Amino acid sequence: MSLSKKSLGPRRQPASSVVAGILIWCSPPFPAGVALLQGKKVDLKLVEKEDAPLLQEWLNDPAFFGEFEPILQITKAEVEKSAERPERPRVFFIQKKDGTRVGLIEVRDAHPGRSDSGSEVGYAILPGERRKGYCSEAAALAVDFTFLTTPVVRVQADTNVRNVGSQKVLERVGFKREGTLRKAHFARGEWMDLYLYSILREEWKWPKVLKG
């Protein structure tokens, strides 16, 4: 599963720039002022402007996002400028309990300024930290936080049909596959199909990870 790069770098298309992007239908989006969300294996800590050098390093590394994502090259100034946009996302570091940063997760307005605006979530993990359950817990934290702090009834996600790892992440969190979005994502010279997943509030029931 990959972090959306649309909001962290220069504006760009195509139709989707996340390997598995979660669309959370809510108004308003996540509350401001959240500094740390605590899980069992990992915590989510807000990214600050001074973190731009590390963000640039990760965003410009094709291995960070993986084979299903576009290749991006941006400057530190562009990363810093993205933090000043009024529609900028909430971007968190995924960090282990010892404070080691292992990835990113973001929540952003899908359609800023609209009353029916949703939020999109995406995440990415350093290659050496994958398959350790960090993505699953980060996604669960995001879903828990959403249902606890907003009156949403549905959270949906899409993931590349070839990205089995992302599909397993969503299924562990409780998402159900709904269908296929044909030729919905362009990356690395080809249009790719996506699977559409969702989880409803009544299927979530109560926080799986987030406590307090």
CATH code where residue 83 lies: 3.40.630.30
Is residue 25 assigned to a domain? yes
Is residue 14 assigned to a domain? no
Decide the pairing of beta strands 190-200 and 176-187.
antiparallel
Average pLDDT, the chain: 77
Confidence band for 14, pLDDT divided at 50, 70 and 90 = very low
Is residue 113 assigned to a domain? yes
Q: 179-212 pLDDT, tens per residue?
A: 999 999 998 889 999 998 888 889 998 887 876 5
Sign of the alpha-carbon dihedral angle for 99, 109, 180, 155? positive
Instruction: Give the chain's domain count.
Output: 1
Is residue 55 assigned to a domain? yes
Is residue 39 assigned to a domain? yes
Strand intervals (E) in 20-164: 20-25, 36-38, 42-46, 90-96, 101-109, 118-125, 154-160
| Lowest-confidence pick of 2-6, 36-40, 105-109, 169-173 | 2-6
What is the model's pLDDT at position 183?
96
Strand intervals (E) in 39-139: 42-46, 90-96, 101-109, 118-125
Check residues 169 and 150 and name the one with the higher pLDDT.
169
Q: Is 2 helix (H, G, I), strand (E, B) or coil?
A: coil
pLDDT at 81 over 60: yes
Is residue 80 assigned to a domain? yes
Average pLDDT over residues 17-33: 43
Confidence band for 122, pLDDT divided at 50, 70 and 90 = confident
Is residue 7 assigned to a domain? no
| Lowest-confidence pick of 13-17, 31-35, 65-69, 73-77 | 13-17
pTM over 0.85: no
* Residue-number span of the structural domain to which 107 is assigned: 20-204
C-beta of residue 172 within 8 angstroms of C-beta of residue 154: no
What is the model's pLDDT at position 85?
64
Average pLDDT over residues 126-131: 93
Is residue 3 assigned to a domain? no
Which residue's structure tokens are 């996302």?
A: 89
